[in-house]
């Protein structure tokens, strides 16, 4: 899927890659802070806390976590609900508490070992997820090609318009120059990450006046009206005054916390799978759930907006040679050092250099082979890929896109499987007819299965052989029960052959009047069942 080097990490690559990642995290964290409606310093410290905890204790070395757009959108809801109370400071308190509760939920998911189920996501869903995410990352970069016009709309929001003239020319030129460095530097040397070289080179050239490009400080000032950030270490969040004893509070907070928890875990575990594929290794999904929970609890406790895995930065880390935990730890600590001691340095990074690096990540992330599969892969797979891609792009909700993709995949599988039940007459005489069944008998195929049998016109004795069939659920058992009733009313004898022991016991308990042959080569699978079988009350 990805054209990355399959290699083991080393300390030098991890350190340099972590430094590169820390630089790219800055504008993203600031941008996501504005999405959530909070001060930019909250997004920056969130990237530090979440990034450090998950890098040190998570289940996927080399995966980068920080503030993300999906979490920011949900966090904005908590912030708005708190602000609606009219109590000063309650907006931040709602946000921090919702995040802490989300972390607790993620921790419980890890303790219950539910993270492993993410591996059940079908490959077409993964392809659609990756493609949609690549498009979202690309779309997210175009906001840096706009600037504040100086005007406000009716709601008091700043109005932005495209850069013009020399500003746009410099922006495009520096972005293309950065991309060129990333592409061609590895052909000369692989001693240092090309992304880091590109950022530093363009940054120095801009600083010394060779190029005229906007910096992170320019973007921050355009967004908030000030290029200054608070460089002190955050204090523990003050959550006093929250109406914990009121039901209305929990009705508001619980859905928000559940959404933050699930969105964060789905994004993180899908990213974990992608990194597994790149590194040809296997991460620990349940451990990652625990680390995500701990990270968000810590982030909320220190007044952060939380976060999860960032696929763009994770892929940048992979492409730069970062493989071990050191890369993520260095990235988080470097960002903390920049905030505390070197904020002027990160504020003077050319935004064009960061945009160019992210565009290269988009190119590496997008599954270009999707176009080759059109006309070759099953139409159902192509449909699922397109559905997930477009839901991702238009909803900006990765978790929703994955859930929709899984549902669509399940439905298409059910429809296809329902057409693959084969019932053939393998032996026929005046007195007896033997049917051989092939395929899966379950809720989607039972109607087609039952329609193959005509009790009134059949011979007096009927045998149905399930040797090449599998009864998957109680719908299949109920279909057999219905057939037995149909043949009994027609005054004919029905015998079943090659049923599993589990199927046989359920049918016998239901009191179905049908003969079941017990043979040495009967299968031994079990049937997915309800807590109380409908047949057991017949």
Q: pLDDT (tens digit, 9 = 90+) per residue, 517-532? A: 777 766 765 665 544 4
pLDDT-wise least confident of 71-85, 182-196, 520-534: 520-534
Rounded to the nearest 10 degrees, how much is the dihedral formed by the CA atoms of 451, 457, 461, 465?
Answer: -20
Whole-angstrom distance, CA of residue 363 vs CA of residue 377: 23
Mean pLDDT of all residues in 127-143: 83
pLDDT of 50: 95
Tokens of 449: 């299965």
pLDDT of 328: 93
Is the model's pLDDT at 363 over the cut of 60? yes
- Listed ranges 330-334, 355-359, 491-495; the one with the highest mean pLDDT: 330-334
pLDDT of 291: 96
Whole-angstrom distance, CA of residue 164 vs CA of residue 168: 5
Is the model's pLDDT at 300 over the cut of 90? yes
Instruction: Note the helical H segments in 142-246.
Output: 165-188, 194-207, 216-224
pLDDT in tens, 473-528: 778 888 888 888 888 889 999 888 888 777 777 777 656 556 777 777 667 656 65
Q: Which domains does the chain have, with CATH numbers?
A: 14-153+161-368 (no CATH), 419-537 (3.30.750.24)
Mean pLDDT of all residues in 60-82: 86
Mean pLDDT of all residues in 364-388: 84
Q: By C-alpha distance, which of 359, 267, 301 is closest to 72?
A: 267
Mean pLDDT of all residues in 380-393: 89
pLDDT of 526: 61
Whole-angstrom distance, CA of residue 500 vs CA of residue 466: 9
491, exposed or middle or buried, with CB in 10 Å at 0-12, 13-18, 19+? exposed
* CB-based contacts of 52, cutoff 8 Å, min separation 6: 295, 328, 329, 332, 333, 336
pLDDT of 172: 92
Band (pLDDT 50/70/90 cuts) for residue 228 is: low
Is the model's pLDDT at 99 over the cut of 50? yes
Band (pLDDT 50/70/90 cuts) for residue 412 is: confident
pLDDT-wise least confident of 98-107, 401-410, 415-424: 415-424
Q: Which residue has better confidence, 341 or 101?
A: 101
Instruction: Note the helical H segments in 37-145.
Output: 40-57, 69-83, 90-111, 123-141
Tokens of 181: 């460095």
- Listed ranges 47-51, 154-158, 268-272, 317-321; the one with the highest mean pLDDT: 47-51
pLDDT of 331: 93
pLDDT of 476: 81
pLDDT of 531: 44
Positive/negative CA dihedral, 376, 380, 381, 386: positive
Whole-angstrom distance, CA of residue 460 vs CA of residue 272: 60
pLDDT of 20: 86
- Percent share of the chain, pLDDT over 90: 24
Band (pLDDT 50/70/90 cuts) for residue 357 is: confident
Mean pLDDT of all residues in 279-286: 86
In sequence order, the β-bridge partners of residue 497 are: 465
Q: Which residue has better confidence, 52 or 392?
A: 52
Is the model's pLDDT at 437 over the cut of 60? yes
pLDDT-wise least confident of 139-148, 256-265, 391-400: 391-400
Enclosing H/E stretch for 65: strand 65-66
> How far separated are the first and last CA of the chain, in Å rounded?
52
Q: Which residue has better confidence, 165 or 191?
A: 165
pLDDT of 390: 92
- Percent share of the chain, pLDDT over 70: 91
Is the model's pLDDT at 534 over the cut of 50? no
Q: What is the DSSP letter of 473?
A: B
* Contact status, residue 125 vs residue 406, Cβ threshold 8 Å: yes
pLDDT of 123: 81
* CB-based contacts of 304, cutoff 8 Å, min separation 6: 42, 45, 46, 49, 50, 96, 99, 234, 298
In sequence order, the β-bridge partners of residue 146 are: 162
pLDDT of 533: 46
3-state percent breakdown (helix, strand, coil) of the chain, nearest 5: 60, 10, 30
Whole-angstrom distance, CA of residue 269 vs CA of residue 288: 8
Mean pLDDT of all residues in 353-373: 82
pLDDT of 31: 67
pLDDT of 527: 60
Mean pLDDT of all residues in 245-263: 90
């Amino acid at each position: 899927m990805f054209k990355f080097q399959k290699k083991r990490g080393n300390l030098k690559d991890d350190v340099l890659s972590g430094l590169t990642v820390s630089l790219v995290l800055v504008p993203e964290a600031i941008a996501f802070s504005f999405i959530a409606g909070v001060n930019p310093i909250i997004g920056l410290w969130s990237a530090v806390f979440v990034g450090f905890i998950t890098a040190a204790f998570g289940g996927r070395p080399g995966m980068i976590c920080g503030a993300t757009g999906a979490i920011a959108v949900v966090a904005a809801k908590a912030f708005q609900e708190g602000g609606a109370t009219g109590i000063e400071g309650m907006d931040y308190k709602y946000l921090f508490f919702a995040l802490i509760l989300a972390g607790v939920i993620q921790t419980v998911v890890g303790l219950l070992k539910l993270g492993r189920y993410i591996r059940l996501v079908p490959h077409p869903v993964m392809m659609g997820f990756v493609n949609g995410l690549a498009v979202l990352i690309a779309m997210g970069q175009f906001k840096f090609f706009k600037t504040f016009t100086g005007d406000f709309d009716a709601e008091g929001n700043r109005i932005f318009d495209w850069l013009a003239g020399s500003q746009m020319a410099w922006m495009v030129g520096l972005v293309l120059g950065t991309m060129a460095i990333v592409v061609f530097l590895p052909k000369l040397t692989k001693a240092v990450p090309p992304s880091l070289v590109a950022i530093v080179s363009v940054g120095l050239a801009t600083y010394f006046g060779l190029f005229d490009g906007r910096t992170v400080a320019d973007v921050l000032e355009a967004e908030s009206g000030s290029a200054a950030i608070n460089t002190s270490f955050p204090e523990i969040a003050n959550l006093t005054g929250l109406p914990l004893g009121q039901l209305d509070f929990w009705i508001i907070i619980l859905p928000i916390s559940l959404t933050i928890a699930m969105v964060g875990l789905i994004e993180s575990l899908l990213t974990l799978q992608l990194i597994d594929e790149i590194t040809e290794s296997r991460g620990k999904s349940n451990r990652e759930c625990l680390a995500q929970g701990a990270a968000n609890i810590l982030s909320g406790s220190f007044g952060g907006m939380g976060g999860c895995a960032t696929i763009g930065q994770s892929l940048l880390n992979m492409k730069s040679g970062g493989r071990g935990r050191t890369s993520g730890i260095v990235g988080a600590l470097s960002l903390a050092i920049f905030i505390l001691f070197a904020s002027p340095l990160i504020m003077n990074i050319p935004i064009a250099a960061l945009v160019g690096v992210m565009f290269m990540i988009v190119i590496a992330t997008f599954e270009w082979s999707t176009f080759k599969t059109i006309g070759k892969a099953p139409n159902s797979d192509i449909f699922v890929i397109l559905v997930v891609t477009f839901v991702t792009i238009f909803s900006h909700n990765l978790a929703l896109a994955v859930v929709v993709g899984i549902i669509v995949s399940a439905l298409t599988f059910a429809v296809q499987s329902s057409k693959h039940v084969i019932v053939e007459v393998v032996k026929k005489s005046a007195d007896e007819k033997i049917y051989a069944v092939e395929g899966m008998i379950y809720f989607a195929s039972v109607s087609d299965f039952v329609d193959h049998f005509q009790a009134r016109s059949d011979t007096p004795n009927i045998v149905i052989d399930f040797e090449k069939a599998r009864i998957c659920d109680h719908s299949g058992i109920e279909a057999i029960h219905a057939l037995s009733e149909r043949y009994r009313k027609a005054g004919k004898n029905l015998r079943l052959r090659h049923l599993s022991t589990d199927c046989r016991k359920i049918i016998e308990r239901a009191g179905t009047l049908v003969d079941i042959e017990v043979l040495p080569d009967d299968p031994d699978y079990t049937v997915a069942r309800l807590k109380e079988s409908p047949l057991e009350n017949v």
